[in-house]
Amino acid sequence: NMLLIGWSVYIAGHVLAIVAFLAIGAYQRDHMDGWTWAALLLVEAGFILTIPQAVAILSNYIQSSTGATMLLPAQMAPIGHFGELLLWLGVALYGLAARRAKALPTGVGWILLTASVLGLLAAFADVWFITAYWWVLAMLMLVFALVGIGGSMSHPPRLIASRPPT
């Protein structure tokens, strides 16, 4: 079943995103101000609070793997809406605050803001079948932003200078 495979991969990516955002914060700590740190804490709290929802969704697909409709973390009790709200508000605030603090490459802050709007629409606006696609698009944009941030990181000058000549 594609949903079973998809959610298994998603949970692994979810945990890696928690680590990735912490690594970005550690790498850009000199450029980050208080608002950026607060937004990063919101993102981390949102990711951590949505782990049980993702695991509950995966267990639903393990039990009934055929003919199932796609569930979203916001649809899962008990803290689905709250976890999604923290996650997507944190992503939006982090994108804007880190952009202002010059801790993100140009354009990535706007990608994070757009992903956040789509994620909030998916979590709180139930419009026929399209809601799940908004959430998938929001997650893909979040991954795209993380790749953009990772691609812009370079080695600190002290590491480059300490390498022996080849």
What is the residue-averaged pLDDT of the chain? 85
Residue closest to 145 by CA, chosen among 85, 92, 81: 92
Residues 69-116: tens digit of each pLDDT: 777 888 777 788 899 999 999 999 999 999 898 888 878 999 999 999
pTM for this prediction:
0.83
DSSP letter string, 58-77: HHHHHH--SSPPPP-GGGST
Of 29-38, 58-67, 105-114, give the lowest mean pLDDT range. Answer: 58-67
What pLDDT is attached to residue 163?
Answer: 53
Q: How far apart are CA 17 and CA 14, in angstroms?
A: 5
Q: Of residues 41 and 161, which shows the higher confidence score?
A: 41
Give every CB contact of residue 130 below 8 A, 6+ residues apart in sequence. none
- Using the predicted structure, report yes or no on whether residue 156 has a pLDDT greater than 70: no
**CA atoms within a 13 Å half-sphere pointing along the CA-CB vector of 50:** 30
Burial class from Cβ neighbours inside 10 Å (0-12, 13-18, 19+) for residue 137 reads: middle
Give the model's pLDDT for residue 65.
64
d(CA 91, CA 94): 5
pLDDT per position as a tens digit, 12-24: 999 999 999 999 9
